[in-house]
Amino acid sequence: MAEVRLEGLGKSFGTSRAVTGMDLVIADGEFVVLLGPTGAGKTTTLRLIAGLERPDAGSIRIGEEDVTGLSPAERDVAFVFQQYSLYPHLSVFDNLAFPLKSPARRWSAGEIDARVRDIARMVRIDHKLDSKSTKLSGGEMQRVAIGRALVREPSIFLMDEPLSSLDAKLRADLRLELKRIQSEIGATLLYVTHDQIEAMTMADRIGILAEGHLTQIGSPREIYTAPANLHVAARLGHPHINLIKPGLLPCQSMPDGVRTIGARTEHILVEAAASVAQGNGRVDWIEHLGDQNHLHILVDGQKITLLADPYSGFKAGDPVSVSLKQPLFFGADDRRITDV
């Protein structure tokens, strides 16, 4: 495995800029997740690293080598695509063995067999080794696609939303598996997704991508608790962060120059009020999610949503007192005000 270094990387398609001035170092053995909405430039970034697109600015280093001008075959990367791409006429075994059969590797049949079985066990597909890949479920196909990347030992794994087509349960299982496998083999991995839960649970560091710009990179905790700006703050957190004007809710202390307050569940105190006159808001409705509720509150016509204990006893129409405790503050330029 190796460190991967992007410097000033840029790519346009005609007049549209897909990736702009991207600087990013992925350390050897690090799991970095790029998180961004559709069209943010996630796939383009991966394709640039793999050599499937030529950058029009900047450079890419893998380990000691500048690979910017090299063909995909000359770069030591393994790519798992957004749409799984198995060889339909081959069995699961042969799909997994395929990357090992290149003449350059000179692996014996015994070595290939052992490696394929090892990886198949790791991605839990060993019971289907003899099946045709067309006979697999979507989740099984995706396991094979991930396995086919893992059989090689490339400098870096590039994964493009590999779990997005799976159902929620399988996605949650594979998330954990992938993280386990990655740390077990010490893989350098760049993974792109628009799913904040995948980013939060798997990443050593999350990079937030917006319109081709890497706006912030840091540990999941840093990105969540200290977002650089409103855009980053809005990428993480469920329910969505509440963006409110100063003065709407009581707040113990507030720095100068605040234009927007960002309030997540943990920044909001809600207490039952004895009457409408004694509170400053009322419960609008409650969304039951099973283990948790979303409590929707109206304060002066503005909706505020937070997580609530299902046994909190609130019901629609209840008067409440709502206040803030240490929320996030953003200035006129949408950047977070850090000297609070």
Footprint on this chain of Mg ion (rule: CB under 5 A): 42-43
Contacts of residue 139, Cβ cutoff 8 Å, sequence gap at least 6 = 166, 167, 170, 174
Question: Nearest approach, Cβ of 41 to Mg ion (angstroms)?
Answer: 9
Q: List the one residue from 6, 24, 31, 41 that touches ligand ATP (CB under 6 A).
A: 41
Contacts of residue 201, Cβ cutoff 8 Å, sequence gap at least 6 = 175, 176, 179
49 contributes a contact to ligand ATP by CB under 6 A:
no
Give me the half-sphere count of Cα atoms (radius 13 Å) on the Cβ side of residue 179.
17
6 contributes a contact to ligand ATP by CB under 6 A:
no
Neighbours of 283 (CB within 10 A): 20
39 contributes a contact to ligand ATP by CB under 6 A:
yes
Q: List the one residue from 18, 80, 187, 202 that touches ligand ATP (CB under 6 A).
A: 18
43 contributes a contact to ligand ATP by CB under 6 A:
yes
Give the residue with the Cβ less far from Mg ion, 36 or 139. 36
Question: Nearest approach, Cβ of 166 to ligand ATP (angstroms)?
Answer: 16
> What is the biggest distance separating any 2 CA atoms in the chain, rounded to whole angstroms?
81
40 contributes a contact to ligand ATP by CB under 6 A:
yes
For residues 316, 319, 324 and 330, what is the CA-based torsion angle, rounded to 10 degrees?
60
Interface with ligand ATP in residues 150-209 (CB under 6 A): 194
Question: Nearest approach, Cβ of 235 to ligand ATP (angstroms)?
Answer: 13
**DSSP structural state of residue 185:** H
Neighbours of 128 (CB within 10 A): 19
Question: Nearest approach, Cβ of 277 to Mg ion (angstroms)?
Answer: 53
Q: Kindly report the length of the chain.
A: 340
Strand partners for 78? 157
Are residues 82 and 164 in contact, defined by beta-carbon separation less than 8 angstroms? yes
Instruction: Report which residue's Cβ sits closest to Mg ion.
Output: 43
44 contributes a contact to ligand ATP by CB under 6 A:
yes
Are residues 13 and 204 in contact, defined by beta-carbon separation less than 8 angstroms? no
Side chain identity, residue 28: D
Question: Nearest approach, Cβ of 41 to ligand ATP (angstroms)?
Answer: 4
Give the residue with the Cβ less far from ligand ATP, 38 or 108. 38
Question: Nearest approach, Cβ of 48 to Mg ion (angstroms)?
Answer: 13
Residues binding ligand ATP (CB under 6 A):
13, 16, 18, 36, 38-44, 194
